[in-house]
Structure 1
Amino acid sequence: MPESALARLALMAVPFIVWFAWRAWARHTGREMGATPWPWLFAAGAALAGLSLIAAAVLHPDNRRETYVPAQAAPDGSVHEGYFAPHPASPKTPPR
């Protein structure tokens, strides 16, 4: 979860980074700059973060027909990670 939140924050920062880099280049070449378009930068960052959320939902693998097996601690102290296991076939369940 923290990694995805950091990725969304990084996507929110992209328009600001691009704008300020372009502004620095424009000032270096002698071009006069207007005011910083704060609402447009926030809107572009929100759009990028929103698109990443949509992409994550669309591209995430489907596990609705699987059962989650939680992590288990072994007697030697190691931890076996949780995983998804397929449901056992039921005579009432139609095949996919």
Structure 2
Amino acid sequence: MYDKPRLPDPVRAAAVRAVIVTALVLVIVLVAVLSAVAGVWLAFPAVLCALGGAVVATWAVLDVWVTRQMWVQRHGVLSEPSSVAREKLLRRRSGTG
């Protein structure tokens, strides 16, 4: 369906972790806001958890980027010469160049 290749497994795993952590942090932030508006005792602990969760979510998102960079460094990037470069190479090899 799409020509774009799938992400490597370690990068996909890190991305899934980041999405789950971010979703949980958003839920905690919502609980913190609603409990602060309602004036419930849960507001202060929820705000502290939301601040800690923001740090963890930032770490998780950075982990995706670092994991991708490490994968590219270790496994390289598959590249193919363009059609123009291929034509020049064929001309050079045939000696007509």
TM-score (normalised: structure 2): 0.36
Normalized per residue, which structure has more strand?
Answer: 1
TM-score (normalised: structure 1): 0.36
Normalized per residue, which structure has more helix?
Answer: 2
Which of the pair has the greater relative contact order for Cα pairs under 8 Å at 6+ separation? 2
